[in-house]
């Protein structure tokens, strides 16, 4: 709820100026609230693995002091938890770096055929572990998006990683690229389309609008077991916003999920 700040002078600009202040203040209030929520959530997410590590340290210092087998087991769990904290901090830093640049429009040239090959190569060992096949249908012609290569790599890496991570063992991930050339004679208006489709368990409709919220995770037995930071799709959304791109998702429970990305492209 906004507070009305008196502007001191009541001339003909009075009501308009007051209105602008109300909007400003309510927006600031909302931003402040979002920031507070974010810090609370991030602290909670970090505190959970930390509490677990501290618990195991106490056990190893006390009751399990001379238990060789317990020591091995607990150390392995502690290493997992430390890794989880590292991933969280890496993702948080990445998100804040992208947010910092929110108002800078990236103008580099990124060949998406080439980029997708790199993404698939980076995911190949992980996909192989689960016997998942990743296939790419590249375009015969170059498909050049307007953007920052590292950030776009991160976008597609996160989407393909999710498709593998939440996909079923022995399943498939299909990546398709398309282009919609501008009718005008310059780059403005051309669009690149990339879709990533898996045949995994799918996502129930009520979760779809919330997937890009920070820390939002669909709480199924499967996703709890997999573990993640809940920041992957928030990063995707922020990078795409900065690129004036779009993300959409279609999913059928029991059949699979498709994430579609649209980016401004060079003609
Ligand atoms: P996480 O670190 O949990 O993977 P993301 O932000 O990348 O975080 O994804 C948010 C949630 O969306 C995941 O926890 C998962 O439940 C769901 N999700 C994302 N991609 C898929 C997919 N391809 N298939 C099924 N569920 C998915």
Which of 89, 217, 251, 259 for mutating ligand 1's site (highest number of atoms within 8 Å of CB)? 217
pLDDT tens digits for range 94-107: 999 998 988 888 98
Instruction: Give the pLDDT confidence of 217-239 residue by residue, as tens digits.
Output: 998 777 777 878 999 999 999 99
Q: How far is 39 from 184, CA to CA, in rounded Å? A: 46
Structure tokens that stand for 63 in this block = 């009751």
User: Is the pLDDT assigned to residue 142 strictly greater than 50?
Assistant: yes
pLDDT of residue 239: 96
Residue 171 CB less than 6 A away from ligand 1: no
Report d(CA 112, CA 243) in Å as an integer: 14
Average pLDDT value for residue range 191-215: 95
Question: 255 C-alpha to center of ligand 1: Å?
Answer: 15
Phi and psi, residue 137, nearest 5°:
-105, 90
- Mean pLDDT of the residues in the chain: 88
Looking at residue 263, its pLDDT comes to 96
Residue 218 alpha carbon, nearest atom of ligand 1: 16
What stretch of H or E contains 150?
helix 149-165
Residue 228 beta carbon below 6 angstroms from any ligand 1 atom: yes
3-class DSSP assignment, residue 247: strand
Of all residues in the chain, the percent with pLDDT exceeding 70 is 88
pLDDT the model gives residue 181: 66
Nearest CA to ligand 1 atom 20: 162
Q: Over the stretch 10-65, which tens digit does the pLDDT of each residue have?
A: 444 455 556 666 667 788 888 888 888 889 999 999 999 999 999 999 999 998 89
Atom of ligand 1 nearest to the CA of 196: 23
DSSP output for 111-128 = EHHHHHHHHHHHHHHHHH
How close is the Cα of 145 to the center of ligand 1, in Å?
A: 25
What ipTM was estimated for this complex?
Answer: 0.99
CA of 161 to the centre of ligand 1 (A): 9
> Across 60-74, 123-137, 225-239, which has the greatest mean pLDDT?
123-137
- pLDDT at site 148: 96
Going by C-alpha positions, the residue among 88, 240, 81 that lies closest to residue 159 is 240
What's residue 3's pLDDT? Answer: 38
212 lines ligand 1 (CB under 6 A): no
Distance, in Å, from the CA atom of 112 to the CA atom of 190, rounded to the nearest integer, reads 14
Q: How confident is the model at residue 149 (pLDDT cuts 50, 70, 90)?
A: very high
Half-sphere exposure of 34 (CA within 13 A, CB side): 9
Q: Does the beta carbon of 203 lie inside 6 Å of ligand 1?
A: yes
Q: What is the pTM of this model?
A: 0.85
What per-residue confidence (pLDDT) applies to 23?
65
Q: Is 264 in the pocket of ligand 1 (CB under 6 A)?
A: no
Which neighbouring-strand residues pair with 256?
252
Six token digits for residue 58: 């106490």
pLDDT score of 140: 87
Give the confidence band of 139 by pLDDT, cuts at 50, 70, 90: confident
Q: In which band, very low, low, confident or very high, does the pLDDT at 212 lie, cut at 50, 70 and 90?
A: very high
Predicted confidence at residue 18, as pLDDT, reads 60
Q: Is the CB of 247 under 6 A from ligand 1?
A: no
Please work out whether the CB of residue 162 comes within 6 Å of at least one atom of ligand 1. yes
The pLDDT value recorded for residue 227 is: 77
- What spacing in Å lies between the alpha carbon of 141 and ligand 1's midpoint? 32
């Amino acid at each position: 709820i906004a507070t009305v700040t008196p502007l001191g002078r009541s001339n003909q600009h009075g009501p308009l100026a007051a209105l602008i202040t109300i909007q400003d203040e309510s927006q600031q209030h909302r931003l402040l609230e979002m920031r507070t929520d974010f810090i609370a959530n991030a602290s909670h997410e970090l505190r959970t693995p930390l509490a677990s590590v501290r618990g195991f340290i106490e056990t190893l210092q006390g009751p399990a002091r001379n238990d060789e087998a317990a020591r091995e087991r607990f150390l392995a769990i502690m290493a997992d938890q430390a890794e989880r904290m590292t991933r969280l901090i890496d993702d948080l830093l990445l998100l804040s770096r992208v947010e910092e640049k929110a108002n800078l429009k990236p103008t580099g040239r990124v060949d998406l055929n080439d980029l997708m090959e790199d993404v698939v190569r980076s995911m190949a060992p992980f996909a192989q572990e689960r016997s998942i096949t990743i296939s790419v249908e590249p375009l015969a012609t170059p498909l050049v998006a307007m953007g920052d290569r590292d950030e776009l790599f991160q976008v597609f890496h996160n989407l393909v990683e999710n498709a593998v991570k939440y996909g079923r063992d022995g399943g498939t991930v299909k990546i398709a690229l398309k282009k919609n050339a501008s009718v005008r004679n310059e780059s403005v208006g051309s669009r690149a389309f990339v879709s990533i489709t898996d045949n995994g368990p799918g996502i129930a409709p009520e979760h779809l609008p919330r997937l890009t919220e920070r820390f939002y995770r669909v709480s199924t037995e499967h996703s709890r077991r997999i573990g993640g930071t809940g920041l992957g799709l928030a990063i995707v959304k922020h990078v795409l916003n900065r690129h004036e791109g779009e993300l959409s998702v279609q999913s059928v429970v029991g059949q699979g999920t498709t994430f579609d990305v649209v980016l401004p492209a060079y003609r």
